[in-house]
Amino acid sequence: MKKISASLTFLTTEEGGRVAPARDGVRSQILIGDIMTSCVVRGQADGGVFIPGRQYIVELELLFSDLYAIELDSLKTVELYEGSKLVAKGARL
């Protein structure tokens, strides 16, 4: 399982983000090129909760990174989804 660092901001409800804030350890889908795959978000959340609109430095544990190694090397922009809904965005560090 590969881990990458990213600077992420979880979207507010007004921006189309989650109704309830995400928690440390949340599973989301990450967009790598035109491929969606699963990841676990780990970071220093406020009391275990990622407050929408705040920027966090997180570690993303990619569950199937061996399948997308080439695409992952060129990843610069990070977008996290829950289903088809964009819930967080940022940049790879």
pLDDT per residue rounded down to tens, the chain (93 residues): 899 999 999 999 999 999 999 999 999 999 998 889 999 999 987 888 999 999 999 999 999 888 888 888 889 999 999 999 999 999 999
| pLDDT value, residue 39 | 96
| pLDDT value, residue 16 | 94
Q: What angle do CA 87, 80, 40 make, to 5 degrees?
A: 115
DSSP codes joined into one string, 1-45: -EEEEEEEEEPPTTTT--SS-EETT-EEEEEETTEEEEEEEEE--
| pLDDT value, residue 55 | 96
Question: How many domains does the chain contain in total?
Answer: 1
Which three-class secondary structure state does DSSP give residue 53?
A: coil
CATH code of the domain in which 88 resides: 2.40.30.10
Residue 38 pairs with which residues in a beta bridge? 29
The whole domain housing 41 covers 2-92
| pLDDT value, residue 73 | 86
Distance, C-alpha 32 to centroid of its chain: 11
Look at residues 18, 37, 15, 40 and name the one whose alpha carbon lies nearest to residue 27.
40
| pLDDT value, residue 67 | 87
| pLDDT value, residue 91 | 97
